[in-house]
Structure 1
Amino acid sequence: MFEDLSERQISLINAIIKEYLATSEPVGSNVIVKKYSLRCSPATVRNEMARLLEDGYLDMLHTSSGRVPTPQAYRLFLNEIMEEHDIPVLQEVAIKQRLWPSRFELSRLLRQSTIALADYSQLLAVATTDDG
């Protein structure tokens, strides 16, 4: 899915997401070049952003605004920063037993999965669907 992206495009998506998470504002090319030390001009960044818009990684809320990341961009971002860890077998079995009764009801399964993830990771966990 992400194989068609260049390293520069991946770096650009990561920078846009970081900036968007920090400011909650659409991100423009000048900000990206100045703040994230990309080795290219704002015009090059705009061209790359246009390609990423066409490919579904970015969205534009208004004609003259900067860009915002899409769920597809967030998936790429998370794949880039995540590390995979194994969990003990007993814990895996306990989680599966906890989720098994919810397997046929999506909203309940998401709720239970989120609770289990938060319990296991000791971090905040949030689950959403593309429908909102």
Structure 2
Amino acid sequence: MLDDRKKKVLQAIVEEYINTAEPVSSNALISKYDLNCSSATIRNEMSDLEKKGLLDKMHTSSGRVPSAKGYRYYVDELLKDDNISLEEVKYISNKLETKVHEIEDLTKITANTISEITHYTTVTIGPKADEQIIQEIKFVLLGTRM
């Protein structure tokens, strides 16, 4: 679907946006990523990625942000696999061997397992996620330890 340069540009935009939560400009990509091309070439690639629905432009003068389709492509095609230990594989297998009768229960078990291993907050969205809109996120302090 994408040539190598477009893949590199999309990967850089997604990773930069994840790190900064700001629209990503061609100049930001040139200064932080080894893309071996001019700012004008990056802008052309960004325009092509936008036409393919992989990027969105918030304002006419702003940089680009990944679309839902762009994130999906990143996860499916560009995200590098990190090896996990045998101990983690056994732990995950043990957790997922639990008998469940509802997809919601499996989703909860999976999210909790990922959160335990990565020490990150995990959010899950069910089928038809591209039709879902998150309306509110609440953070509740459970203790004084941060």
> What range describes the TM-score normalised by the shorter chain of this pair?
0.7 to 0.9
Q: Deviations over 1:18-75 (max 9, x none)?
A: 2112221111111111221321111111111111011111111112211001222223
Q: Deviations over 1:106-128 (max 9, x none)?
A: xx543333113324x24323323
TM-score when normalising by structure 1 = 0.75
Shift of 1:96: 4.0
Percent of matched pairs sharing the same residue = 33
What does residue range 1-132 of structure 1 map to in structure 2 within 5 Å?
Answer: 4-79=1-76, 80-83=79-82, 87-88=89-90, 92=93, 94-98=95-99, 100-103=100-103, 105=104, 108-119=105-116, 121-124=117-120, 125-128=122-125, 129-130=129-130, 131-132=132-133
How many matched pairs? 123
Residues 83 and 9 of structure 1: is their aligned pair in 2 closer, same or farther, counting only changes over 3 Å? same
Give the letter for the 1:55 counterpart.
Answer: K
Structure 1 residues not aligned, in runs of 5+ = none
RMSD (Å), alpha carbons:
2.5
> Secondary structure at the residue paired with 1:68?
strand
Is the Cα contact below 8 Å between 1:102 and 1:112 reproduced in 2?
Answer: no
Specify which structure has the higher proportion of helix. 1
**Structure 2 regions of 5+ residues with no counterpart?**
134-146
d(CA) in 2 for partners of 1:31, 1:66: 9
